[in-house]
Amino acid sequence: MTPKTNSRLSLEVKGRLDMEEIQGKSVLIVGYGREGKSVAAWLRKHYPALQIDITDKQKDGDNYLGQLKKYDTVIRSPGVSPYLPEIQQYITRGGHLTSPTNIFFSRVTGITIGITGTKGKSTTTSLIAHILTGRYPDVRLVGNIGSPMLDALDTAVKDTIFVVELSSHQLVDIRYSPHIAVLLNIVPEHLDYYPNFEAYRQAKENIFRFQKPGDHLVRSEKTNEIFTTKLLGNRENISVAVRVARLMHVPDEMIQKQLATFAPLPHRLEFVGEFRGIRFYNDSLATIPEATIHALGALGSDVATLIAGGYDRSLDFSKLGEHLASHPVQTLILFPDTGEKIWKATQAAQATLVTQVKQQTQKFDVNMMEEAVRLAYEHTPVGNICLLSPASASYNLFRDYADRGNQFKEWVLRLSGA
């Protein structure tokens, strides 16, 4: 079926309750991170007689998937790829594979608004939740951002509104779709998890694949409609949030009021401050080239220094190289491993330019954030911007994107002389 994309949502919505996701008498939880711990606690409360075991690669080593066949149900945490051979063999032999996401959607009785996309989903999800809180008393921000879905399930009622950020890893084997599905842009990412880009794209599109009559699909699109907000360069995401709010019967006056009070997320084009005449922006959430291109476009020609590079997930940096060639910065400060790829892509694009005058970009290779920020202070002209927007994941040098962004902010302050 084709979900509706225009008329407003009826707030008299029934839950999904399509099937029993916990089958048999024994369950194995694969992966014991945030969601693994959440589903374990939920199962112990609701299935006291169930045999519940846990396996995790960090604790149990490379053979952590060796005992799958012993269990009636296997619950896959998002970080564990369903494409792993052991999991595929389990499915082929008739095993029942599920996930915390499937369990949530099979039990939820409130209204669900799900958001996915390669970039912008955290901002869009937070923005939708913020707007809806202006009208509704019980709006819960859950999923890939906020609390785990199952943590918020038991205290919900039929009027609860769940705004759920959904990663491709949560969607890859989902059997349900939210009442309102928001699909933002899809560009290559996580190619170390999926066999190819097509598999990644299909995982994202699962967000609307199982919608029912009366459900709605909202896609990202350009708009000329103007609402006042503190967000930089997020016109398409704002448009999506406004359209969802209207589906949920929020008046435009209230939408504008809520937009005006929305604070940008940490690590997403976050203004750190102006020090020694230089404006610093933390965009550590930019883990793909397209996000960095977006940041550069949002901040414009004042960006004189770009700090980029990080963990290599086999992404293509040619478009970022083309952008940096046609909109050059004065200084590139690059982390391994992708820093070298970004530099080569930029040089290759510069070689194809037909313009007579080509601005020279100086490049520095660094391994620590302190060194990167010190160089930024030395080489960014007064009145210009230093932007941290890595276009890459963080795992080779930092715990995660938040650690990377926090270190950037810390060193900006420590080296400011303030």
So what's the pLDDT on residue 13? 46
Cα→Cα distances 312→210, 288, 290, 408, Å: 34, 10, 15, 20
Say whether both 68 and 153 belong to one domain. Answer: no
**Residue 303: its pLDDT value, please?**
97
Whole-model pTM? Answer: 0.83
b/e map 203-240, b = 16+ CB within 10 Å: bbebbbebbeeebbbbebeeeeeebebebbebbbbbbb
CB atoms within 10 A of CB 352: 8
We report the CATH number of the domain holding residue 406 as 3.90.190.20
CA distance 38 to 138: 21
Whether residue 80 is found in the same domain as residue 49:
yes
pLDDT at 250: 97
What pLDDT, on a 0 to 100 scale, did the predictor assign at position 336? Answer: 97
Per-residue pLDDT of the chain (418 residues; tens, 9 = 90+): 344 444 565 555 444 444 699 999 999 999 999 999 999 999 999 999 999 999 999 999 999 999 999 999 999 999 999 999 999 999 999 999 999 999 999 999 999 999 999 888 999 999 999 999 999 999 999 999 889 999 999 999 999 999 999 999 999 999 999 999 999 988 888 777 888 999 999 999 999 999 999 999 999 876 676 677 777 767 888 999 999 999 999 999 999 999 999 988 899 999 999 999 999 999 999 999 999 999 999 999 999 999 999 999 989 999 999 999 999 999 999 999 999 999 999 999 998 886 655 578 999 999 999 999 999 999 999 999 999 999 999 999 999 999 999 999 999 999 998 7
Same domain, 375 and 349: yes
297 within a domain of the structure (yes/no)? yes
Whether 81 and 114 share a structural domain: no
Question: Are 205 and 92 contained in the same domain?
Answer: no
pLDDT at 16: 47
Edge-to-edge strands of the sheet including 278-282?
270-275, 278-282, 385-388, 303-308, 331-334, 362-365
85 is in which domain, residue-wise? 26-101
Last residue within a domain, chosen from 210, 226, 260: 260
Domain stops at, among 212, 235, 260: 260
Q: What is the pLDDT of residue 5?
A: 47
Q: Which of 53, 81, 101 is the last residue of a domain?
A: 101
What was the pLDDT predicted at 359? 72
d(CA 56, CA 146): 23
**Judgement on whether residues 193 and 169 belong to the same structural domain of the protein:** yes
Task: Give the CATH number of the domain where residue 84 resides.
Answer: 3.40.50.720
Q: Are residues 93 and 43 part of one domain?
A: yes
Q: What is the pLDDT of residue 282?
A: 97
Residue 286 included in any domain: yes
CB-CB neighbours of 379 under 10 Å: 16
Count structural domains, the chain.
3
pLDDT score of 148: 95
Whether 142 and 250 share a structural domain: yes
